[in-house]
Structure 1
Amino acid sequence: MLELRPCCECCGTDLPPESTEARICSFECTFCAGCAGGVLAGHCPNCGGELVRRPIRPADRLARHPASTIRKVKPQGCVAA
């Protein structure tokens, strides 16, 4: 099950579970659309994998399986992989 991480690892922008701006790789590293399409050019700086739109978990399922609250932000920001 996806963690649905709460923020962009590059810039710290909030990405609530219903956000259409969240992008993830296959390891669930999470970035905002701006960082994913900008400095990262569509690739995860951690694994080099493709960044794709994160699916939205339906509200009734979110109640039973809540999103993560652990914020992971790179102190130095991001650079392309």
Structure 2
Amino acid sequence: MASKAMNHSVLIFDKATEELLNEVAIPDRHAEQLKALMGWASDEEAIYEYELLPAQLRRLERMIGISLETPDAIYQLSCST
């Protein structure tokens, strides 16, 4: 990843209300795996927010060892620097 620290997390929103239900941090040690999972060609792409597809979510869960499944939820990958 870029030299500036990027803190990624998964934001979990309720589909009906769009209320934020949970935020799960992705440890920095997974930065390169995350880049590959998301298909980022450059470090700059890592700063945006992305809606996660079901397959991406499952791979991310295996990567970080945490179940993120929440009924009727929207999952987004977020970055803060």
> Which TM class, normalised by the smaller chain length?
under 0.3
| TM-score normalized by the length of structure 1 | 0.28
* Larger helix percent: 2
